[in-house]
A and B are shown apart, each in its own frame.
Chain A
Amino acid sequence: MMAQRRGWQSSATTAALYAFATSLSILFLYPYWWMCLGMFRNARQVTGDPLRLWPEQFDFSIFAEIQRIGGVSFWQYVANSFAITGASTVLGVVVTAAGAYALTRKPELPGFRWLRYGFLVTIMYPYMLLVIPVYIVVFKLGLLGSYAGIVLFLALGPIQFFLFDQFFRTLPREVIEAGICDGANEAQILFKIILPMAKPILATVALITFLINWSQWFPILVISRSPDTFTLPVALLAMNGELGSNFRGIMALAFVTTLPVAVLFVLAQRRVMEGMAAGAVKG
């Protein structure tokens, strides 16, 4: 009797916990659903019943209306987003991997400790405020309004560095020493021995860098001279700032801005969450 009752109580607790966790998850996901509904519903329908859970109609006409935003084609923003995010991710992964490898492999070399400290200072500086002097630097380099200026600035990031740093630190020394004994030169050690072992971490860092850089907007806005180099988040911000806001257009653009990273995250959820936690813990 007693055991039975306790079992009933226990499953009631489990059910309550499930109910609570599920409602919390639904609250967190609701803004996405509301955003999707907002693409299909016109202003009168939304103000009449903001809580409706299913659209009156599946009306995709808004995508035809936002074919041009701020004088630039919608597809240009999409292309910019993929090009800028992709290029800065590839550049960032290669540069950070090589740099972190050298810094952890030979920390005693002259200047290496200073470089590490210098990098740490850089990431402590409030990012939003770093962008202001970066504008001056990019101006002096003559890269204002160029893709190169944006991509170069976005390439480095703290989580990326800490993930590689942590990986190279835990790499067994014997692996490298065996290579040296076999007469391999440093380039061979890097490309033939380290790189194959580093594939999983390269994939994790690439994934996380892509997600982070896709979301960037402020450096892109500051370095750009015109909307021609805007990415989707910057275009969305510009649209959000216009007078007489176009609610449906904003929701549709927010949807397009969110979709690629949401899909990527759902496909690689474990790698993303574990990678971000690991990168933060070492930092």
Chain B
Amino acid sequence: MPAIPVPTRLQSAVEALDLAWRNRVFYLFVAPFAALTIVFGLWPIALSIQVSLTASASALSPNPTYVGLANYATVLADPIFITSLWRTLWYAALAVAANLAFALGVAILIDSPRLRAGSMFFRLAIFLPVVTPDVAGYVVWRWLYDRSFGAINAAAEQLGLPAFGGLSSVDTVTIAVLIAELWHHAGFYMTIFLANLAMRDRALEEAAAIDGATVWQKWRFIILPQLRPAIIINLVYATVQFLKTFTVVVVMTKGGPAERTNFVSYYAYQLFDQGRYGEATAMASLLFAIVIALSLGAFKLSEGRGPK
């Protein structure tokens, strides 16, 4: 360190540089990771925000025309986008509730000591769709729903149930998409619930049994509160997951019928495909803001309560 007095700001900068230089090998270790994070993460996000402020026609040129928030105004005034946004939020809420309830139910079932012998097989069966390429899974589901090829309507007919509209009817397309997505995702949430169930304090249940608690009371007051961490993690993951529902739409419905499954990700992509870059990236920014707000909300819920 030089003995001459230097302004504190400069001094701390020098110290930081010195610290960095002495630890240069760690910068070497982190450099590739930093480069990829910046080039394929932060730069595109910054670019996306920049493009959302420019006119689409000039967005990719070296000297784009800046139009301020005009794209955001266009998007928010677009009735298709507003409908799409509400449908996305509604679908996400429905899908989160269905997936978490299903995953929790299955986790409780599989965790039962009575099913110990078959537990690994059941886990395997429910988790296999998670690692199955989503395109492959949804392609098969698309045909399962088909009126003439599909097994689902044939099964409904055999059971004497009314025909299921599947992907071609506005009344059933949401539930059909939801079932296919549940098949693909629920195993993941189940695994998190199972990990949490395995970590719980079983002494509490024994104590409750001695005190004469019923099965319902045991679940409601002893086990469920201990599952709080898993519920919150799953809530965040599932919310982020279903807000950006995309692949299932591309493979099975293309947004239809009657725009019923034209969720925000898909609509934004369509605009991008038509070269309407400004509006597409404005939608991306809006969805990003919603995802961040909802995730922060869920984290706030969990703040300071129980171990993470």
Q: Which residues of A are at the interface with B, using a C-beta cutoff of 8 A?
A: 13-14, 17-18, 20-22, 24-26, 28-32, 34-35, 38, 43, 46-47, 49-51, 94-96, 98-103, 105-106, 109-112, 115, 118-119, 121-130, 132-134, 136-137, 139, 141, 152-153, 155-156, 185-187, 190, 211, 214-215, 217-218, 232-234, 236-237, 240, 247, 250-251, 254, 257-258, 261-262, 264-266, 269, 272-274, 276-278, 280-281
Contacts and interface: CB of A to CB of B under 8 A. Distances in A.
The secondary structure that dominates the B interface is helix
Given A28-B126, A99-B29, A126-B291, A132 B140 contact: no
Given A21-B109, A34-B151, A217-B247, A106 B122 contact: no
A233 B136 CA distance: 7
B268 interface: yes
B287 A99 contact: no
A281 B139 CA distance: 30
Contacts, number: 280
Given A105-B26, A236-B136, A51 B155 contact: yes
B250 interface: yes
Contacts of A274: 195
A178 to B, nearest CB: 19
B29 A190 contact: yes
B132 A247 contact: no
Interface stretch (B17-25, B66-74, B169-177): B17-25
B284 A24 contact: no
Nearest to A270: B120
Nearest to A13: B114
B40 A121 contact: no
11 contacts: A17-B114, A21-B109, A29-B125, A119-B41, A128-B244, A215-B135, A254-B136, A257-B133, A258-B133, A276-B188, A278-B195
Given A24-B126, A31-B141, A137-B39, A51 B135 contact: no
B286 to A, nearest CB: 10
Contacts of B137: 31, 258
Task: Indicate the size class of the contact surface on chain B.
Answer: 35 or more
Nearest to B105: A24
Most chain B beta-carbon neighbours within 10 Å: one of A30, A152, A217:
A217
A129 B128 contact: no
Contacts of A155: 36
A122 B35 CA distance: 13
A280 B23 CA distance: 31
B225 interface: no
Contacts of B120: 269
A106 B140 contact: no
B134 A215 contact: yes
